[in-house]
A = this chain, B = another copy of it.
Amino acid sequence: MKFLILLVAPGLVAPVFAADFSRQDIQTARELRAQTLAGNGGFDVVEELTTRIGPRLAGSSADARAVDWAETLLKDLGFDRVWREPATFPTWSRGFENVRVVHPVEQRMAALAIGFSPATPPDGLEAEVVMFDDLAALQAADPATISERIVFIRNRMERARDGSGYGPAVQARARAAMVAAELGAAAVIIRSIGTSTNRFAHTGGMRFDTSQRRVPAAAISNPDADQLERLLALDEPVRVAMEIDAQVIESYTSHNVIAEITGARYPDQIVALGAHLDSWDVGTGALDDGAGIAIITEAGRRILALDRRPDRSVRLIFFAAEEIGLWGGRAWAQARRDRIGDYQVAAESDFGAGPIYSISARVADEAWPVIQAIQTELEPLGIGLGERQASGGPDFLPALPLGLAVVDLDQDGTHYFDYHHTENDTLDKIDPDELAQNAAAYAVFAWLAAQSPVGFGSGPGLLSDSTE
Residues of A with Cβ closer than 8 Å to B?
A: 47, 50-55, 62, 104-107, 110, 197-200, 222-223, 226-227, 230-231, 234, 283-284, 422-424, 426-429
| Cross-chain contact A226 with B52 (CB below 8 angstroms) | no
Q: Smallest Cβ distance from A416 to chain B, in angstroms?
A: 15
Closest to A196 in B: B198
A55 touches B107 (CB 8 A): yes
Partner of A53, one of B51, B105, B222: B105
A105 with B52: in contact, given A197-B428, A199-B423, A426-B199 (CB under 8 Å)? yes
Q: Which of A198, A200, A422 has the most CB of B within 10 A?
A: A198
Task: Evaluate contact between B47 and A222: CB separation under 8 angstroms.
Answer: no
Q: How far is the CB of A209 from chain B (nearest CB, A)?
A: 31
From residue A110, how far is it (CB to closest CB) to chain B in Å? Answer: 6
What chain B residues lie within 8 Å of A50 (beta carbons)? Answer: 227
Please name the residue on chain B nearest to A55 by beta carbon: B107
Kindly state the separation between the CA atoms of A55 and B198 in the bound complex, as whole angstroms. Answer: 17
User: A197-B428, A199-B422, A223-B428 known; 12 other A-B pairs, CB under 8 Å?
Assistant: A51-B227, A51-B231, A51-B234, A52-B105, A54-B106, A54-B107, A55-B107, A197-B429, A199-B426, A223-B424, A227-B426, A227-B427
Chain B residues, CB < 8 A from A199? 200, 283, 422-424, 426
Option from B54, B226, B429 in Cβ contact (under 8 Å) with A427: B226
Contacting residues, chain B, for A223 (C-beta < 8 A): 424, 426-428
A53 and B234 alpha carbons, distance in the complex (Å): 13
Which of chain B's residues have a CB closer than 8 A to the CB of A53?
Answer: 105
CA distance A200 to B227 in the complex (A): 19
Contact B52 A284 (CB under 8 A): no
B52 touches A423 (CB 8 A): no
Min CB distance, A281 to chain B, in Å?
10
Query: Which of B47, B105, B197 has a CB less than 8 Å from the CB of A230?
Result: B47
In the bound assembly, the distance between CA atoms of A230 and B52 in angstroms comes to 9
Which residues of B lie under 8 Å from residue A422 when comparing CB positions? 199
A110 to B426, CA, bound (A): 12
**5 pairs of residues in contact across A and B, judged by CB atoms under 8 Å:** A47-B230, A55-B107, A198-B198, A223-B427, A226-B427
- The complex places the Cα of A427 from the Cα of B197 at a distance, in Å, of 10
A422 to B50, CA, bound (A): 24
Q: Which residue of B lies closest to A231 (CB)?
A: B51
Residues in B whose Cβ lies below 8 Å from that of A231: 51
Contacts of A200 in B (CB 8 A): 198-199
From B52, B104, B198, B428, contact of A424 by CB (8 A): B198
Residues of B close to A106: CB separation below 8 A: 54, 62
Cβ-closest chain B residue relative to A52: B105
User: A110 near B423 (CB under 8 angstroms)?
Assistant: yes
Q: Are A428 and B51 in contact (CB under 8 A)?
A: no
Contacts of A423 in B (CB 8 A): 110, 199
Contact of A51 with B230 in the complex, beta carbons under 8 Å: yes
In angstroms, Cα B57 to Cα A106, docked, is 13
